[in-house]
Amino acid sequence: MTTTSTSANAVPRWFRAEDCNLEDFKQVVSAATRLEDYPYADAVEQNVLIYGPRLHSYLDDPAERADVQAELAHALTEGPGIVVFKGAFPDLGVVDRATDAFNRLIAAQKAAGVTGGDHFAKPGANDRVWGALDKLALAEPEVFAEYYSSDILALVSEAWLGPNYQVTSQVNVVNPGGVAQRAHRDYHLGFMSAEQASAYPAHTHLLTPALTLQGAVAHCDMPLESGPTLYLPHSHKYAPGYVAFHREDFTEYFQANFAQLPLDKGDAAFFNPALFHGAGNNVSTDIKRMANLLQVSSAFGRAMETVDRTAMSKALYPVLLGMKSSGASQKALKNIVASSAEGYAFPTNLDRDQPIGGLAPQSQAELVLEHLGRSASHVALDGALDAQESRRRTGAR
């Protein structure tokens, strides 16, 4: 691309839509995904990496788990930028119970006269549950707990973001006749016009994808006619992509060259938020395509949605106590806490919430796990959560 800096050899400091060059983009996306570079993967289909159920057998040994995570991080950076986990939820009963709970949330929303609108589709064409993470935890904590004990979500979130990640979830149902989205990149810089994104210096375009992991869990079988997501593997590596995706020539190229894979219920896809993608057309007559869209934020980033993690932790704690006493694994319990409680101690009020015996005060997740470890009562936990929340507020209040 043409640089906007004075030296021909310098990295451009600003990205502008008018400087983007489709030929450069084609060069980037012409990369091939080679299965031999990914020993834990089972297949490459349309340049997308596919991980099968055998992956689960490598996840209990810490050293092997770290190897798998290194491979996933490689796939999401130098690789195609997208991975599919077949059978991410091996027990489809868990997925079905979550589907039923989501349908109850949608029905309640409709009964209350709320239109689950969508920034990409006409109101009413889709059913959307925003903020589905805390809505599910508060309405049906048992269903939340079995669903978010999922080890694949923890595996890939830690691989991309490290510990103390913050999960958010939105349920999307694209009904028959639902139309495709225009190809785009995702949060953060993907939720801006090209002009707005251009105001952020080039290095932030390269940095912010590391702050978010984008994912989707298929809650029904998604044959191609139902319009599963369209992707352009390797497109996350085109540096000025956050301004380029707004251009017509890039949109047309995407339309002619996308990958689209059918998914089965219980499969999950995770991708670098800088990957060009968009939902497909649902040309089926009878498939209500339901996906749980997971947006997982780094502890160091700012999530798109607010989540009442104190209320979630209170609602889930009795379920966690019950699971502990019936012999649930420590890993399952930790995964549920990681998906619900705030894992990071900052920002806080350092007048009142001082680090004791370390560099950071206790996080909410640590507080929940500490109470769970000694099987404290839910009354004790509720009091401790409220006290912690109060300490973290600014001194002016």
- Contact residues toward Fe ion (CB under 5 A) are 186
Nearer to Fe ion, 33 or 181 (CB): 181
User: Taking CA 237 as the corner, what is the angle to CA 241 and CA 233, rounded to the nearest 5 degrees?
Assistant: 95
Instruction: Using the minimum distance from each CB to Fe ion, give the nearer residue, 20 or 180.
Output: 180
CB 101, min distance to Fe ion, A:
24
Cβ atoms < 10 Å from Cβ of 232: 27
Residue 368 CB, shortest distance to Fe ion, in Å, is 31
Q: How far is the CB of 135 from Fe ion (least distance, A)?
A: 21
Within 121-227, where are the H helices? 132-139, 141-148, 151-161, 194-198, 202-207
Nearer to Fe ion, 146 or 186 (CB): 186
- Kindly provide the b/e burial profile for residues 200-219, where b requires at least 16 CB atoms within 10 angstroms of the residue's own CB: bebeebeebbbbbbbbbbbb
Least Cβ distance, residue 270 to Fe ion (angstroms): 13
Least distance to Fe ion, CB of residue 181, Å: 7
Q: Which is nearer to Fe ion, 83 or 337 (CB)?
A: 83
Nearer to Fe ion, 186 or 353 (CB): 186
| Cα separation, 56 vs 130, whole angstroms | 30
CA proximity to 15, closest of 274, 300, 231, 232: 274
Closest separation in Å from C-beta 77 to Fe ion? 19
For residue 246, say if its preceding peptide bond is cis, omega within 30 degrees of 0: no
Using CA atoms, how far apart are residues 204 and 197, in angstroms rounded to an integer? Answer: 10
Provide the 3-class DSSP secondary structure of residue 126. Answer: strand
- Nearest distance from C-beta of residue 143 to Fe ion, angstroms: 26
274 vs 323, which CB is nearer to Fe ion? 274
- Between 237 and 309, name the residue whose CB sits nearer to Fe ion: 237
Query: Minimal CB distance to Fe ion: which residue?
Result: 186
User: How many whole angstroms separate alpha carbon 100 and alpha carbon 120?
Assistant: 25
Query: Who's near 65: CB < 8 A, 6+ residues apart?
Result: 58, 59, 155
